Copies of this chain bind each other. A is one copy, B any other.
Amino acid sequence: MIDEISKQVGHEMYQFLAELYPLCRSITGQGVRETLKGIARHIPVKMHEIPSGTEVFDWTVPQEWNIQDAYIKNKKGERIVDFTQSNLHVVSYSQPIHTTMTLEELKPHLYSLPEHPDWIPYRTSYYKESWGFCLTHRQLMALKEEEYEVCIHSTLESGHLTYGEYVIKGETEEEILISCHTCHPSLCNDNLSGIAVTTFLAKTLSGRSLRYSYRFLFIPGTIGSIAWLALHENQVSTITNGMVVTGVGDPGALTYKKSRQGKAGIDRAFIHILKTSGLEHAIIDFFPYGYDERQYCSPGFNLPVGCFMRTPHGEYPEYHTSGDNLTFVQPQPLEESLICCVKAVNLLERNTTFLSQNPKCEPRLGKRGLYRAIGGESEGAKREMAMLWVLNFSDGTHSLLDIAERSGLEFEVIDKAAESLEEHGLLKKVSL
């Protein structure tokens, strides 16, 4: 699976992300629909609409928010804060307004970052009626005492919450859920990176013969996963593993946050892949804040869904600012992240329990041409050790992942050794 990934995939994801960057996404609205159309150019994602007002557990699908334009004009009529320059300038879900006011009246509606005077913060007000502008601290400091024309040309009306879904059917009904949030405007790492990696992971799996079925969700954060779970409550029992993909394009260490269960297949897969990756990484325990794993892992569902990311949210200064841009995210980290996801999926697909057909003493590998038959000396020795591990522990109670973990060898090496041994009749599959 890994071998078939294009060498250019990092650049391809980066370019895809750059195309989606200018769109003004929120938890509802046209920006989300445009984003899903962009995704649809790569995979046949299906767009779903849930009407405003739909009750979903303790929550209600909100009104749909759309925005055409917004600005603050000074007395000379110059746009000193301009939505068309950056969609971060407007607090998401701002109500429409068009009026003039003094600086004193305006100030409570302005947000800046004194510690990063050149960055625009990202703010939302989904569940409280409000409006506001975000601007750099330099812009804020430059404002004089005068009258300002304040305009937010937005609509907040009954409409829909839009999400995308793409399902790849495998041999079994058992599903692996891969979820990413689509609600943030021009922020690259959070979460165009997650959208790009999820899209290209789907692209990689598409058209293959797979053991598991895969469900990809492109949803607004929190309300999206809550709505999806509420509307598909009787369907979640088929989800045997899953991951939330977010913040996977920054240069920080690869990070896997375990599911609430903590020892699910996906947890063991990512832990093994990261530990044998040779890359800087961190494994962290589940905690009930973060991204949509909060909902998937709520106690009434307790799904085996972890979260794959690089630097965790809030732990990098660019987080939720205009500093999270096309410079902050780069092709190389995107590619590493995608490869980890593919390897984790490959591990779940390939993990099997075998039974040695020669359980009493070792079989003679030499007479079967399996003794240092392949690769150079060091590669051959590693392969041979992998075969001995697989033979010794294929007693019907150890999966290939168990053996990989115990031996410290990469799953792929163990898997290939098992494949050779099976071909020579030394192993038989016990179960998936």
Chain A interface residues toward B at CB < 8 A? 56-59, 127-128, 222, 225-226, 229-230, 233, 260, 287-289, 294-295, 297-302, 356, 358-364, 366-367, 385, 388-389, 391-395, 407
Contact = CB atoms under 8 A, between A and B. Distances in A.
A59 B299 contact: no
Given A366-B127, A392-B260, A361 B300 contact: yes
Contacts of A294: 362, 388, 392
Given A297-B392, A392-B260, A361 B230 contact: yes
Contacts of A359: 298-300
A298 B59 contact: no
B299 A58 contact: no
Contacts of A229: 360-361
Contacts of A287: 389, 407
B288 A388 contact: yes
Nearest to A356: B299
Given A288-B389, A392-B260, A298 B233 contact: no
Nearest to A233: B360
A299 to B, nearest CB: 4
A233 B359 CA distance: 13
A298 B58 contact: no
A407 B289 CA distance: 11
Contacts of A360: 57, 229-230, 233, 298, 300-301
A360 B299 CA distance: 7
Given A58-B358, A299-B356, A358-B57, A288 B392 contact: yes
A222 B388 CA distance: 14
Contacts of A364: 58-59, 127
B295 A361 contact: yes
A126 to B, nearest CB: 9
A315 to B, nearest CB: 15
Most buried by B among A295, A364, A388: A364
16 contacts: A56-B361, A57-B361, A58-B358, A58-B363, A59-B361, A225-B361, A226-B362, A287-B389, A287-B407, A288-B388, A288-B391, A294-B392, A295-B361, A298-B391, A299-B359, A301-B361
